[in-house]
Amino acid sequence: MIPVFSPNIVQRRLLRIPAPQAAQVLQGMANQDAQTLAVQLQAIMLWAPSQMQRLRKIWQWLPTHYEREMDGDNWQYTADTLQFGGDCEDWSVALCSHLRAASIDARIGIMPDHAAVFVPLGVGSKYVIKEGFQIRLNPELIPDTWWTMTYEGRIWLPLESTLKPDERGFPGEGTADIRGWARKGQLWIAAA
């Protein structure tokens, strides 16, 4: 069981904060939680030799229980989300904090009425276009079955944080809406 890090839910209103600043606030929450989670990830056997193996293990393990908020948009830390459930921002903080605790550069991205997690991938590798989307071909870094996207000149692995565990296939799946927001210029990814 992961201990509670925060005594109270962080009360934030996404509508009152511009999206780029909201992404940074959520990223800060994930970074705080990551410092506490590193030891626990090893204890619950989510550690693996390569970053992509750790990413996939965490992706498949995350016990997402989506709860729609009826009283506005309150943001909470990872322990509260794991205990009580949460919406897209809450699960994005939880996923991002676990990935960062596993030494993976994960970032939170904000779109209109949604949040997700993004992992920046290296440049200079060979890519192929598959069904209109760019797929990375270097199997040592990322399997070619994982969907990636281009955003602001970089290749990213988008991770939809609200998928139920039994709906998760490969990391990057279920992100068509996210890629759509990126194409429309309505995606803001937090800086590291």
- CATH of residue 139: 3.10.620
pTM, full prediction: 0.77
Q: For residue 11, is it within any domain?
A: no
Q: For residue 10, is it within any domain?
A: no
Lowest mean pLDDT among 38-47, 69-78, 105-114: 38-47
Q: For residue 178, is it within any domain?
A: yes
Q: Is the pLDDT of residue 136 over 70?
A: no
The confidence band for 144, taking pLDDT boundaries of 50, 70 and 90, is low
Q: For residue 1, is it within any domain?
A: no
What average pLDDT does the chain have? Answer: 78
Q: What is the domain extent for residue 31? A: 18-189
Q: For residue 5, is it within any domain?
A: no
Q: For residue 50, is it within any domain?
A: yes
Q: For residue 58, is it within any domain?
A: yes
For residues 104-115, one letter each, b for 16 or more C-beta atoms within 10 angstroms of the residue's C-beta and e for the rest, the string is bebbbbbbeebb
Q: Is the pLDDT of residue 162 over 60?
A: yes
Split into its structural domains, the chain has a count of 1
Mean pLDDT (whole number) for 8-24: 62
The confidence band for 30, taking pLDDT boundaries of 50, 70 and 90, is confident
